[in-house]
């Protein structure tokens, strides 16, 4: 009994993360009580006295923390300056809560739901709608291989290139949410159009100038960029520096030279860049290069480091203008070379004081930028697929049934609908965080990676459902180009495999963990005394954190999280399950960091799975927040449920894969006990739930409209989407008529034959009325238009 009581006491203290002195006092009282009751134990008292010494901080520092600090320094992987700058970029937000193992859901729900201003909404309903109408994607991809000149002029004149530029410089000064809505809407019309608008607003010169530019640079360039008088590109990647962009070999040598007839201090540049979006038409190149100062014209250092400058593309020595062909999606993209190009020193973004700060600048801007554009484009693809493929699956019939009614098709339809809901929720929540002034570097990596990956899966599913109609390119094809473009989003702004394996967990563990960054800072502190004091505090906090997470993980695992206090309502159990898995994640992440140390950096399959757990917890949080922000709409429940169950199941499977492959087997067995004390309870979305989600895509409704809100929806029947939206209600209205006819055939009253004659016979024999026949006739005509594909006299 005494042992059970002691265990319960220890568990309670651990669960509630009490301070060390509280532990000591409570255990002392307990041992005292046993002693008074005549059941005292000398060994227990001895152990207690030894442990109680941990409260004597100076002693503890010398006996425990100092040797552990030495060990910790050995375990730390070596880190370059560029790695450190990448790791330190941005801020921590909800990712920190998920890492804590005890996410405060009320805090998340209290975050304001992002909303558009009237001006932003008017821009979406006006110029964006107008631009979409100008973008004939077939013509763009097959004839012009570019946007039409009037679209180029329109985007420049209407300020599309200046969405992030403040009004004082003539820009639109839109929120991240509005920016996202604009890109998303254009992407549902033309990927080429969306990428063209995206780039000047993304990780380009404008963003860098806004944060780091000198007043003079801002005054000169921002108004010109806002009105499209300058077309910018940003050139970082080269043949030898792709994912490892910090290894950029392009060089700038500080020297004196002549610029516009004047002798001036400047930089002689040599570069070879490729894949540069808008490069072929750019008038101004944001260039990243490594700056050297062999003659010490700027200071003591010779290798100054990565630097960003604004280089007018017309300067002598620059070759620009030839194009790459990115999978047939003809946004402007190409290489550029510079040979002995001379620029004045004040062309460095931020002036010469920012020389060598380029990598930090890039990482800081990436920390927000990658959370906006590509997630918007990816969600656009999800919405387009949900709306168009859902309608198509109802309109297209095989074996006398709409293909969407076959269970085999329901499966991809459910994935399309549920995933689109999740993508949209993550997009909106992330934009909301950015609009609140945050720069959540790990979260933006999560949404960039997961939304572009999910776009690829959703569009693949859509292509499978559409069959041949998706494959035959032409003006009638509404998904083929999006399918072709999927790998582009995967590769740019941090290629996905690298983002998953190295950044999400690598950066997450250091930035979001409540103690690791403190421990690292302490280990790097040149002041030994101060370093030891800092390390000691962080270390004991960390130990308490781990003990608590172990207690919580086990208890929450055994109870399925049922006793945790979370927001109420239908989604209550999902909040509880997410809390439970967050505690398990915190425990497992710590165990992996402790047992694998610096090796975890190379164990990308393990860190990738940890990244997936953290990411799915974030995506799940976004779904729950969206559902609560919208005041729990009942008709969205199947989508919410599907997205939650899918995310929870993915988390469980990532844990299973991690534990199965964890190199330290005894630790893996122990962790399994704490993470899955009663086995793996989650099964993912059921077939029945999938049926409900698929059903949402198959007919017009307000929930389907909400799922696909923000898309460009052409009304014209010459447009594939217009034809689908026109045909869907007609086909649904005709279904009872078709049923009457089929029943009549089954009853032997009518002979089965091709559609037109069949109808005439139906009316003549009184099976259907003339009005009903007309309903069916209209549906058949609309369906014929939808299923037609293009052919050409010659290719």
Q: Which residues are catalytic?
A: 493
Q: Which is nearer to ligand FAD, 375 or 638 (CB)?
A: 375
Q: Which of 133, 144, 497, 670 binds ligand FAD (CB under 6 A)?
A: 497
Span near ligand FAD by CB under 6 A; candidates 122-130, 227-235, 366-374, 476-484: 227-235
Least distance from C-beta 456 to ligand FAD, angstroms?
A: 13
The residue (of 604 and 653) whose beta carbon lies closer to ligand FAD is 604
Q: Segment contacting ligand FAD (CB under 6 A): 158-166, 269-277, 565-573, 614-622?
A: 269-277
Q: Which one of the spans 51-59, 77-85, 236-244, 700-708 is the region binding ligand FAD (CB under 6 A)? A: 236-244
277 interacts with ligand FAD by CB under 6 A: yes
Token pair 């003659």 is at which residue?
A: 295
| Closer of 236 and 643 to ligand FAD (Cβ) | 236
Q: Sign (positive/negative) of CA torsion 637, 642, 647, 653? A: positive
What would the DSSP string read from start to end of 359-421? HHHHHHHHHHHTTTHHHHHHHHHHHHHHHHHHHHHHH-EETTEEGGGSHHHHHHHHHHHHHHH
CB environment 704-733: b (16+ within 10 A), e (fewer): bebbbebbbbbeeeebbbebbbbbbebbbe
User: And the tokens for 356?
Assistant: 């060598």
Closest CB to ligand FAD belongs to which residue?
242
Q: Which span sits near ligand FAD by CB under 6 A: 234-242, 462-470, 503-511, 658-666? A: 234-242
Minimum gap (Å) between residue 326 Cβ and ligand FAD: 4
Please say which residue, 65 or 333, places its beta carbon nearer to ligand FAD.
333
If you search the block for the tokens 């509005």, which residue do you land on? 178
**CB of 501: closest distance to ligand FAD in angstroms?**
4
Residue 669 CA to residue 675 CA, distance in Å, equals 10
3-state DSSP assignment of residue 231:
coil
SS3 state of residue 338: strand
> Contacts with ligand FAD in 291-330 (CB under 6 A)?
326
Residue closer to ligand FAD, measured from CB, 90 or 200: 200
Q: Of the ranges 411-419, 491-499, 711-719, 773-781, which one interacts with ligand FAD (CB under 6 A)?
A: 491-499
- CA–CA gap between residue 97 and residue 108 (Å, rounded): 9
**How many CA atoms does the CB half-sphere of 218 hold within 13 Å?**
17
Binding mask 575-604 for ligand FAD (x = CB under 6 A): -----------------------------x
Task: Tell me which of 307, 385, 501, 582 binds ligand FAD, using CB under 6 A.
Answer: 501
Ranges within 129-188 binding ligand FAD (CB under 6 A):
none
Taking the C-alpha atoms of residue 316 and residue 373, their distance in angstroms, rounded to an integer, is 33
Single out the segment in contact with ligand FAD by CB under 6 A; choices: 229-237, 290-298, 664-672, 695-703. 229-237
Q: How many CA atoms lie within 13 A of 427 on its CB side?
A: 33
**What value, to the nearest 5°, has the Cα angle with vertex 185 and ends 182 and 188?**
145
Residue 325 CA to residue 336 CA, distance in Å, equals 15
Q: Is 502 in the site for ligand FAD (CB under 6 A)?
A: yes
Closer CB to ligand FAD, 248 or 291, in the complex:
248
Residue 20 touching ligand FAD (CB under 6 A): no
Residue 498 within binding range of ligand FAD, rule CB under 6 A: yes
Taking the least distance from each CB to ligand FAD, the nearer of 395 and 502 is 502
Both tokens assigned to 174: 């839109």
Phi-psi region of 766 (alpha: psi -120 to 50; beta: other; left: phi over 0): left
* Residue 430 binds to ligand FAD (criterion: CB under 6 A): no
Which residue, among 370, 361, 500, 380, has the nearest Cα to 431 in the 3D structure?
Answer: 370
Select the residue interacting with ligand FAD from 148, 166, 170, 242 (CB under 6 A).
242
CB 221 within 8 A of CB 205: yes
State yes or no: residue 276 binds ligand FAD (CB under 6 A). Answer: yes
Counting contacts by CB under 6 A, is residue 235 touching ligand FAD?
Answer: yes
Q: How far is the CB of 241 from ligand FAD (least distance, A)?
A: 8
Q: Could you say which of 214, 283, 460, 491 contacts ligand FAD (CB under 6 A)?
A: 491
Answer positive or negative: Cα dihedral of 294, 297, 303, 307: negative
Q: Reduced to 3 states, what is the DSSP secondary structure of residue 272?
A: strand
243 binds ligand FAD (CB under 6 A): yes
Which parts of 362-391 interact with ligand FAD (CB under 6 A)? none
By CB under 6 A, tell whether 275 contacts ligand FAD.
yes
Residues 6+ apart with CB under 8 A from 145: 330
DSSP 8-state symbol, 114: P
Rg (CA), the chain: 31
Q: What residues contact 311, with CB distance under 8 A and at least 6 apart?
A: 269, 284, 285, 286, 287, 318, 338, 341, 343, 347
Q: Give the pair of three-digit tokens for residue 323.
A: 């194009």
**Of the candidate residues 237, 332, 444, 548, the single one contacting ligand FAD (CB under 6 A):** 237
> Least distance to ligand FAD from the beta carbon of 238, Å?
8
Segment interacting with ligand FAD (CB under 6 A) among 80-88, 486-494, 507-515, 576-584: 486-494
Q: How far is CA 182 from CA 203, 710, 772, in A?
A: 17, 9, 42
Which residue, 233 or 538, has its beta carbon nearer to ligand FAD? 233
Residue 141 CB, shortest distance to ligand FAD, in Å, is 15
Footprint on residues 605-664 left by ligand FAD (CB under 6 A)? none
Retrieve residue 330's tokens: 């003809």
Considering only the stretches 17-25, 272-280, 451-459, 647-655, report the one whose residues sit in contact with ligand FAD under the rule CB under 6 A.
Answer: 272-280
| Residues of this chain that bind ligand FAD (CB under 6 A) | 233-237, 242-243, 275-277, 326, 333, 488, 491-492, 495, 497-498, 501-502, 604
């Amino acid at each position: 009994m005494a042992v059970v009581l002691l265990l319960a006491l220890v568990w309670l203290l651990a669960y509630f993360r009490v301070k060390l002195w509280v532990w000591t006092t409570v255990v002392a009282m307990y041992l005292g009580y046993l002693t008074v009751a005549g059941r005292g134990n000398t060994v227990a008292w001895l152990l207690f006295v030894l442990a109680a010494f941990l409260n004597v901080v100076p002693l503890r520092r010398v006996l425990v923390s100092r040797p552990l600090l030495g060990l910790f320094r050995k375990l730390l992987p070596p880190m370059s300056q560029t790695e450190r700058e990448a790791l330190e970029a941005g801020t921590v937000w909800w990712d920190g809560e998920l890492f804590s193992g005890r996410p405060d859901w009320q805090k998340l729900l209290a975050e304001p739901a992002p909303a558009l201003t009237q001006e932003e909404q008017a821009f979406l309903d006006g110029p964006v709608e107008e631009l979409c109408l100008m973008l004939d994607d077939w013509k763009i991809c097959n004839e012009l291989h570019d946007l039409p000149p009037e679209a180029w002029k329109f985007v420049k004149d209407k300020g599309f290139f200046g969405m992030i530029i403040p009004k004082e410089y003539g820009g639109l000064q839109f929120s991240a949410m509005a920016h996202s809505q604009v890109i998303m809407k254009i992407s549902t019309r033309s990927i080429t159009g969306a990428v063209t608008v995206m780039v000047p607003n993304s990780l380009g010169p404008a963003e860098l100038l806004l944060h780091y530019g000198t007043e003079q640079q801002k005054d000169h360039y921002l108004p010109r960029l806002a009105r499209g008088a300058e077309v910018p590109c940003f050139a970082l990647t080269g043949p030898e520096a792709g994912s490892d962009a910090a290894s950029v070999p392009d060089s700038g040598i500080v020297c004196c030279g002549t610029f516009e007839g004047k002798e001036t201090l400047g930089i002689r540049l040599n570069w070879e860049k490729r894949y540069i979006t808008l490069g072929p038409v750019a008038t101004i190149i944001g260039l990243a290069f490594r700056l050297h100062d062999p003659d010490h014209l700027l200071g003591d250092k010779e290798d100054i480091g990565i630097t960003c400058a604004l280089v007018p593309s017309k300067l002598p020595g620059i070759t620009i203008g030839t194009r790459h062909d990115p999978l047939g999606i003809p946004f402007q993209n190409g290489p550029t070379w510079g040979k002995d190009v001379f620029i004045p020193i004040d062309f460095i973004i931020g002036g010469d004081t920012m020389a060598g700060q380029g990598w930090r600048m890039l990482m800081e801007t990436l920390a927000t930028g990658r959370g906006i554009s590509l997630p918007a484009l990816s969600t656009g693809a999800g919405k387009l697929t949900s709306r168009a493929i859902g309608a198509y699956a109802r309109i297209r019939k095989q074996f006398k049934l709409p293909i969407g009614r076959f269970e085999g098709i329901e499966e991809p339809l459910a994935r399309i609908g549920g995933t689109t809901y999740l993508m949209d929720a993550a997009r909106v929540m992330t934009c909301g965080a950015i609009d609140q002034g945050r720069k959540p570097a790990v979260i933006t990596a999560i949404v960039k990676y997961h939304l572009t990956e999910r776009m690829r899966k959703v569009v693949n599913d859509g292509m499978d459902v559409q069959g041949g109609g998706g494959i035959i390119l032409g003006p009638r094809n509404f998904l083929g180009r999006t399918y072709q473009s999927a790998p582009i989003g995967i590769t740019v702004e941090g290629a996905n495999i690298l983002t998953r394996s190295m950044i999400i967990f690598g950066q997450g563990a250091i930035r979001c963990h409540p103690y690791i960054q403190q421990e690292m800072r302490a280990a790097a502190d040149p002041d030994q005394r101060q370093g030891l004091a800092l390390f000691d505090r962080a270390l004991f906090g960390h130990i308490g954190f781990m003990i608590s997470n172990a207690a919580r993980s086990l208890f929450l695992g055994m109870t399925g999280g049922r006793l945790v206090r979370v927001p109420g309502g239908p989604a209550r159990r999902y909040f509880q399950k997410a809390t439970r898995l967050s505690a398990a994640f915190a425990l497992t992440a710590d165990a992996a960091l402790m047992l694998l140390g610096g090796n975890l950096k190379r164990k990308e399959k393990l860190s990738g799975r940890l990244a997936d757990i953290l990411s799915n917890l974030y995506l799940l949080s976004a779904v729950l927040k969206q559902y609560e922000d919208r005041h729990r709409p009942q008709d969205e429940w199947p989508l919410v449920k599907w997205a939650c169950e899918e995310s929870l199941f993915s988390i469980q499977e990532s844990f299973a894969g991690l534990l199965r492959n964890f190199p330290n087997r005894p630790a893996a067995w122990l962790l399994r006990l704490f993470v899955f004390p009663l086995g793996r309870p989650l099964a993912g979305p059921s077939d029945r739930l999938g049926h409900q989600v698929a059903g949402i895509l198959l007919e017009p409704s307000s929930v389907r409209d909400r799922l696909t809100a923000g898309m460009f929806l052409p009304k014209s029947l010459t447009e594939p989407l217009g034809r689908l939206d026109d045909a869907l209600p007609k086909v649904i209205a005709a279904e009872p008529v078709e049923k009457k006819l089929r029943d009549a055939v089954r009853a032997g009253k009518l002979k089965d034959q091709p559609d037109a004659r069949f109808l005439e016979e139906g009316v003549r024999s009184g099976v259907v009325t003339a009005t009903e026949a007309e309903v069916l006739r209209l549906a058949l005509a609309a369906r014929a238009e939808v299923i037609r594909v293009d052919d050409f006299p010659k290719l």
